[in-house]
Homo-oligomer: A and B are copies of this chain.
Amino acid sequence: MTDKLIKVRAAVKLVNDKLNFSGIVEGNSPVSIDYIPPLGDNLGYTSLELLLLSLSSCLGSAMLLFLRRMQKSISEFEIISTGLRNQDHPTGFKSVLLTIHVKSPDVNEADLIKVAGLAEEKYCPVWSMIKGNVLINLDYTITR
């Protein structure tokens, strides 16, 4: 395995005669990737869904690392992503809403805004790669 701090590798291999790919990274179960009918057959994640998983897991990881450094106690943490596509090509996201749900006895909304701001500025590499091209909005819900 290469050092993932320096170099990251992945492969996609076509597995049918339409658009179903098997996504492969050494050490992981393959991910089925496909597009919606009629071009694909809904046999897996779409490329845009994978982008949302990439972005939200990156943001979530950065936020959790900072919240833990602040000695906050987190019992549940979830991010729901909704991306609105441009209706003309290229049909990427015009905007993405990330709704962050946290269950914690001691986290407040100001804490979440602070750590999300750190992620946006500097510590979420996926966010940095789409910055300027996609509008990202955040929303928070906290339960005790």
Contacts and interface: CB of A to CB of B under 8 A. Distances in A.
Interface of A: 4-14, 19, 21, 23, 25, 27-29, 31-33, 35-36, 39-40, 42, 44-58, 60-61, 64-65, 74, 76-87, 89-93, 122-134
Query: Would you call the interface of chain A mostly helix, strand, loop, or mixed?
Result: mixed
Given A31-B53, A129-B133, A124 B90 contact: yes
A69 to B, nearest CB: 12
B132 A132 contact: yes
Given A31-B45, A51-B51, A128-B92, A39 B65 contact: yes
A47 B61 contact: yes
A83 B46 CA distance: 20
A58 B47 contact: yes
11 contacts: A6-B84, A8-B46, A8-B49, A12-B60, A28-B44, A35-B61, A51-B54, A85-B125, A90-B122, A92-B128, A129-B134
B57 A127 contact: no
Most central of A45, A54, A61, A133 by chain B CB within 10 Å: A54
Contact of A126 (B40, B51, B132): B51
Contacts of A93: 8, 125, 129
